[in-house]
Amino acid sequence: MVLELLTSPPVIFFIAVIVSILIFLWGGMIAAKGEKTSGKLAPYACGEDFPPERFRVDVRRLFIYGLYFLIFDAFALIFALSFAKPGVFPIIFAVLALIAVIVMLPVKWYE
Amino acid sequence: MMREALGVVELLVFPGFLFLSWLALYFEWVDRKFYAKLQYRYGPLYTGPKGFLQPFADFVKLLAKEDIVPAAVDRFLFTLTPILMLALAFYALFYVPIVPMVRNVAFGAFEGDLILVIFVLTMVGFLKFLAGWGSTNRFSAVGAVRTAFQLLGYEIPLAVVLLTAGMGAGTLNISLIAQKVASNGILASALLPALAISIVCFQAELERIPFDIPEAEQEIVAGWLTEFSGRRLALFRFATDLELTLAAALTAALFLGGPYGPAIPLIPVQVSYFLWFMFKTTVIVMVLANIRALFARLRIDQMVHFSWRHLLIAAVAEAIFIQVLLAAGVIA
């Protein structure tokens, strides 16, 4: 009973987080305490004057790749769930996915 | 009661957290030493025999350095990402058979843990993106975007080849796949192309040359890691070592049988598990180090094109090949 509890995924994850936090806190205990100056707290920029900024992701490009990612994630999932019945259907499905990537990749979507 | 006590020992000491930490530092040492040898350097030399304790010394040194949190960063993400990345790297290793003890499988093994480990690998890549995004620095921003593109590139071929091993063995439990591969020579040899693909993908996952585009130090300082210092950087470094361990252990388990192998006479079975595991994973880490020494860095568009046009097609072709073998009844 205790062993089942110990080997269940949430318990292992919880203990892993605890161990990581302990290492983090240990680092805080032994770390050197320096003086906080404004230069030290500025973003790293090799001596140039870069203000801190949040960037914007190029959505169009990411969207195209995100679409491919979605198609193949669905492929991988269905593929993963087909293992009880190997043979014709997983092969047809994989060939369709392969044709999709061969046909779709050369298309310039956003230029 | 005995089994429970053994379970606690297995979770915390062997092959739990303590042993995994040792293993991660050992693989970093193997990687650095072998990489140095290939370049006619000595590599780590002074700390411990042949510099064996150098990774540990580096870790403690970095942990004890001043921890600077720049004024503009997202403090929540800045603290969360190193801790969560280390925790996830530890977590995934409990599903990979290293030295099976109480239950003769990996500590947390259950049916379907392969999908969990694939999910964790994606989460680690996503955390790198978040870490760069929360840093509000140009170098980090460029590194984070490159991490995201690289993730989209290698993730699918990697998932397909890892699942292919599961298809071939007829289960999604990593430990059972390893047992099946170790006892079935036809399956193991049919999975050799998948082994090659997964090694290339893990090289990209670990952001090592030629896929170190997100932290290209000659272009963008340290990429998504630029703003991190002190204990946060130490945690990231340690998590990367654990990821290397995970890559080696997972590849060994799925394609080479992991700790399972022909019994070595005159020694207990657990010791033979340990020896087989160390042998297989050390060879894989050396191959990864060899790739690092052979190539120069690619551009991000070259990397993405390479993985979508070649790696993915090779991975799907390998999956079809395994399915054909299964349908023909070659793999029993």
* pLDDT (average), residues B63-90: 86
Residue B89 has pLDDT above 80, yes or no: yes
Q: Work out the pLDDT band at B30, boundaries 50, 70, 90.
A: very high
Give pLDDT tens digits for B138-152.
888 888 888 888 888
Task: Using CB atoms, pick whichever of B65, B94, B170 lies closest to residue A31.
Answer: B65
- More confident: B72 or B32: B32
Residue of B115, B102, B274 whose CA lies nearest to A9:
B115
Chain mean pLDDT for chain B:
86
User: If you compute the radius of gyration of chain A from its CA atoms, what whole number of angstroms results?
Assistant: 25
Q: What pLDDT score does B27 carry? A: 92
Chain B partners within 8 Å of A73 (Cβ): 156, 159
Q: Are B131 and B223 in contact (CB under 8 A)?
A: no
Residue B4 lies in a domain: no
**What's the full length of chain A, in residues?**
111
Residue of B nearest to A16 (CA): B87
Question: What are the residue ranges spanned by the domains of chain A?
Answer: 2-104
Q: Work out the pLDDT band at B243, boundaries 50, 70, 90.
A: very high
Chain B partners within 8 Å of A87 (Cβ): 323, 326-327
Residue B25 lies in a domain: no
Residues 43-102 of B with CB under 8 A from A: 60, 63-73, 82-84, 86-88, 90-91, 94, 102
* pLDDT (average), residues B24-51: 90
- More confident: A53 or B180: B180
Q: Are B17 and B93 in contact (CB under 8 A)?
A: no
* pLDDT (average), residues B115-126: 88
Determine the Cα–Cα distance for residues B158 and B113; give it in Å rounded to an integer: 16
Cβ contact B17–A19 (<8 Å): yes
* pLDDT (average), residues B84-95: 91
Q: What pLDDT score does A84 carry? A: 64
- More confident: A34 or B322: B322
Q: Are B148 and B214 in contact (CB under 8 A)?
A: no
Residue of B196, B218, B226 whose CA lies nearest to B288:
B196
Task: Using CB atoms, pick whichever of A23, A31, A53 lies closest to residue B67.
Answer: A31
Q: What pLDDT score does A36 carry? A: 79
Q: How far is A101 from chain B (nearest CA, A)?
A: 8
Q: What pLDDT score does B283 carry? A: 93
Check residue B112 and give left, alpha or beta (phi > 0: left; psi -120 to 50: alpha): left
Q: What pLDDT score does B48 carry? A: 82
- More confident: A59 or A40: A40
Task: Using CB atoms, pick whichever of B88, B231, B319 lies closest to residue A28.
Answer: B231
Residue B1 lies in a domain: no
Q: How far is B38 from chain A (nearest CA, A)?
A: 32
Cβ contact B156–A76 (<8 Å): yes
Tokens of B250: 């997972």
Secondary structure (3-state) at B101: coil
Residue B299: exposure state from Cβ atoms within 10 A (0-12, 13-18, ≥19): exposed
* pLDDT (average), residues B255-262: 84
A107 interfacial to chain B (CB closer than 8 Å) = no
A15 interfacial to chain B (CB closer than 8 Å) = yes
Angle at B98 between CA B92 and CA B104, to 5 degrees: 105
- More confident: B222 or B32: B32
Least confident of A41-50, B165-174, B202-211, B293-302: A41-50
- More confident: A46 or B42: B42
Residue A110: exposure state from Cβ atoms within 10 A (0-12, 13-18, ≥19): exposed
Chain B partners within 8 Å of A9 (Cβ): 108, 110, 116
ipTM: 0.85
Residue B52 lies in a domain: no
Q: What pLDDT score does A60 carry? A: 67
Residue B219 has pLDDT above 90, yes or no: no
Q: What pLDDT score does A111 carry? A: 47
Task: Using CB atoms, pick whichever of B3, B109, B172 lies closest to residue A83.
Answer: B172
Query: Would you say the C-alpha torsion B326, B327, B328, B332 has a positive or negative sign?
Result: positive
Residue of B117, B77, B93, B59 whose CA lies nearest to B236:
B59
Host domain of residue B200: 69-328
The count of structural domains within chain B is 1
Cβ contact B7–A3 (<8 Å): yes
Residue B318 has pLDDT above 60, yes or no: yes
Cβ contact B136–A45 (<8 Å): no
Residue A104 has pLDDT above 70, yes or no: no
* pLDDT (average), residues A42-53: 69
CB pairs < 8 Å spanning A and B: 199
Q: What pLDDT score does A105 carry? A: 65
